[in-house]
Amino acid sequence: MGRNDDMDSIRRMSGLATPMALRVAVTLGLPDRLRDDNASAGELAAELAVAPVALELLLSHLATLGVVEPTPTGYRTTEYGANLCADADNGLVDLLHLDTAGGRAELAFVELAHSITTGRAAYPHRYGQEFWSDLADYSHLRESFDRQMTHRIREQIPQIVAGFDWSRFSTIVDVGGGQGSVLAAILAAHPRIHGHLVDLEPTATRARHVFSTHGLDGRTQITAGSFFDSLPAGADAYLLVDILHDWDDEHAHSIVNRCVEAAHPTGRVLVIEPVGGVRATSEFDLAMLVIFGGRERRIAEFRALTAPHGLVLDTITDLTDQRVLLEFRLTAD
């Protein structure tokens, strides 16, 4: 009996039918379409230009999962399934939809064997170019990625603001700061701090709107550019939130080097992200490898990454159940 239970458990973990059924359902917009108005497989197939018999099979499995439920005239979305609706505001649609950055990237797991064999990202092996090039070439992928990143950290921002003494700094450069939600929250809590955000267009433009919404125009600057280029010089702190784990060692060295080049001699480099062996999960670690060729580095790996650039790890602060803040100082300090 125990052996059979183990086998069933392994089958459930390894099966692809359910994760792909959920992704296709979200991509087709089925949870939204069936939330307020039930419909039959035939009606939906005509609306969506898909095969009716195949759609019936998909709906039947979604019913097994509790995402939809049968009605006398077809199917409707359950309360549980409503979590997959576009307006649920939980980030799931951007993670699962097959034509968003997150949903597309996760399919690179099909090529996991390539990453394990080579140590490199599987994403370009599957799609022909790296993840960041796709974002540059396709605006809808960039927009969905920005939404996903903003949502992923949104609930942790209060802990990030409260869990560290930001008031020590008069100027902070948010390197690759996205739409500015983290920097905006820090500045809102500390009226004497000035902030400078660096990110690519059009993300930088959206950050300007976020700063304006928070009444921070007078204390913020924005540079539309790459963190592989020279950064605004002379700030007290250079903040990297969920940046380094997206890159292999070669690129991570370049990013750290740019921060050190720009920093005030008494400045700090602040890294916020999951840390291997502390806050990172093994599943997310594999995702960083498959999509970016990166990983959730351990403390020793961060020391090895930063030491050649004259940085010393000063403090380690557990900010949330997912993220750690590592504070580095220049050895000349």
pLDDT for 211-231, tens place per residue? Answer: 999 999 999 999 999 999 999
Q: Which CATH class is domain 155-279+292-330?
A: alpha beta
Which amino acid makes up residue 87?
D
Cite the active site residues: 245
Beta bridge mates, 220 = 195
- In CATH, the number for domain 2-86 is 1.10.10.10
Q: What is the pLDDT of residue 332?
A: 62
Name every residue whose Cβ is closer than 8 Å to that of residue 187 and which is 6 or more positions away in sequence: 193, 194, 195, 214, 216, 219, 220
Fold type of domain 91-149: Helix Hairpins (1.10.287)
The pTM of the full predicted model, rounded to 2 decimals, is 0.89
Domain ranges of the chain: 2-86, 91-149, 155-279+292-330
Separation CA 108–CA 112 (nearest Å): 7
- 328 HSE (CA, 13 A, CB side): 26
Q: What is the pLDDT of residue 177?
A: 95
Mean pLDDT score across all residues of the chain: 95
pLDDT for 63-114, tens place per residue? Answer: 999 999 999 999 999 999 999 999 998 999 999 999 999 999 999 999 999 9
Q: What percent of the chain has pLDDT over 90?
A: 89
